[in-house]
A and B are shown apart, each in its own frame.
Chain A
Amino acid sequence: MVEVINVPHTVSGARLKSRRALQADVILRWSLRVTALSMLAVLGYFFVRLAITAEPALSHFGILGFIFTNNWDVAHNIFGAWPLVVGTLITSIVALVLGVPVAIAAALYVTEFAPSRLRSTLALLLDLLAAVPSVVYGLWGVFILIPDLKPAEQWFSNTFSFLPFVGGQVSGPNYFIAGLILAIMIIPIVSAVSREVLATVPLQEKEGALALGATRWEMIRLAVLPRSRAGITSAAMLGLGRAIGETIAVTLVIGSSPVIGHQIFNQGYTLAAVIANEFGEATPGSLHISALIAAGLVLLVLTLVVNGIARGIIIRSDRRRGSIADKAVA
């Protein structure tokens, strides 16, 4: 005997159209929509204002002229950003070359080798590196790295002077030191993303490799790295994006010389550092201010391009095989 409890014989229309719930949804949807769109609007406004302020410099030198002229001379009001673009690229590439292998090695150690009790602690410590303010890295570079590394740099410069971009007198602040500091600064993010990617490699594929008589390293080469390649590449790109935009630490150790150094141990300048250094001194409304803003625009576009490449790599590899490994960073 089934007893039916408390079910009305007829369902009134009011019951099905609960007005309050409906209204709450509408309010939520609109407030979220406004929030999301206002963010886009701020970005757009920001971009437009930058472009307007940069316009005098860009029209004076031409967009290509501004980017590719190798002459940044504040005293004579000549603003060609090429030395800054080159400095940004050199320091970022040095950061990638030094930082990414270390970051991947750290991620591999944490995911594949470290005793399970140590794993979370190690991961936490690595992440903490990211919490150090960049000005602290900069000061550490100025007071410790620059004096301590100079003899080693000079030795390297003398010994390997046959290599391109190496040789001659080493200056204290230089591209290499800036790249080294940047490398340390990008390690946490690159390592954290790589760790996520490595952790998504299915256990059964790793066991498959081990069961074929692979050592740990061979297992990593056979089963782990091929599956994580796209994810690690985009992790490196994220790091590159950070390195390109990093300002204060680089400003402290780059040497602030708007002339392209001929070797890696020469002084230089970067887009971000030039803005940080010169903005306060520039006369409001001058061509100088306009040129600095234009440098900011170039920096913004450079960062967007790098991020776009990273996305492209992820999307392409996703299309090739519906892999979950890369979505961790998408």
Chain B
Amino acid sequence: MSTSKTKSHQTSKASGKGFGVKVRALHAFYDDNEAVKGVDVDFPANKITAIIGPSGCGKSTLVRCINRMHEEVPGASAKGQVLLDDLDIYSLGIDPVAVRRTVGMVFQKPNPFPTMSIIDNVTAGPRLAGVKRDELHERAERALCDAGLWNEVKDRLNKNAGGLSGGQQQRLCIARMIALEPEVLLMDEPCSALDPHSTLRIEELIVKLKSRFTVVLVTHNLSQATRIADYTAFMLDGELVEAGPTKRIFATPKNIRTKEYVTGKFG
């Protein structure tokens, strides 16, 4: 397995914006089935890093290890290190709940709470984190603005979130996540259930967000990776095959399997 490390992660703390994430010798299991087989990879701060690879290659499992969601699946376990600003989130005494407040996640299918109003969806995270009542509205408004949703929903904040379109729901989920003011955003194929127009809006949003967050984007869509990702990591069969600047991965991949995948020979 050849792991080329990304070059520019010295920015991670200096910028004071997002935290870089370093994954070291990470193995993830579902019962005895090893889905991630010893991966080392860096996600530099304030950059978008795409993880690409065919279905079942372990890319979703890898990102689910970064906010410790992986262990919520019955029978799942992980070993290795995930360093968040040089703190290993798998070390003893780390509270997974606190990790998830720092490392936000957006899922494949938009999953707003369907019985709640739009505003309650956005304030759900901050309320759990104990943010004061009088700050909630301001936080929600800021998050909705950041997610580019404010103008569309400002007149119906108390309406049910289920009434929004798929693309709006996904932006609501992004707003809900950034209302928690995390450092890292994990996005697990956030556009795969959306139409092309909504996909474009989400992509623009992700590019805007990288100035404040570190973004890890799992995607099935190779052209999405070339459009917005600064770095790209290619996974196959639970292993990291190659990682590097997106341009290089797509133009001059070092590994033959990467080359075959990005030119559409398989996957």
A residues contacting B by CB (< 8 A) are 115-116, 202, 204-205, 207-215, 218, 222-223, 226-227, 229, 321, 323
Contacts and interface: CB of A to CB of B under 8 A. Distances in A.
Interface of B: 67, 69, 72, 74-75, 97-98, 100-101, 104-105, 107-109, 111-116, 124-125, 128-129, 160, 162, 173, 176-177, 180
A309 B129 CA distance: 39
A281 B165 CA distance: 68
Given A116-B75, A202-B111, A207-B111, A213 B116 contact: no
Contact of B124 (A115, A204, A212, A215): A212
A218 B97 CA distance: 11
Contacts of B101: 212-213
A213 B98 contact: yes
Contact of A207 (B107, B124, B176, B177): B107
A203 to B, nearest CB: 9
A204 B73 CA distance: 12
Nearest to A213: B101
A215 B125 CA distance: 11
A205 B97 contact: no
A211 B97 contact: no
A208 B175 CA distance: 13
Nearest to A214: B128
Q: Nearest 10 A-B pairs (CB), nearest first?
A: A213-B101, A212-B125, A226-B115, A208-B111, A211-B105, A204-B111, A213-B100, A116-B74, A213-B97, A205-B111
Contacts of B100: 210-213
Given A208-B107, A208-B173, A321-B160, A213 B129 contact: yes
A229 B176 CA distance: 23
A236 B167 CA distance: 38
Given A222-B124, A321-B160, A211 B69 contact: yes
Contacts of B108: 204
B184 to A, nearest CB: 12
Given A210-B100, A212-B125, A213-B125, A223 B67 contact: no
5 contacts: A207-B72, A211-B104, A213-B101, A226-B116, A321-B114
Nearest to A228: B115
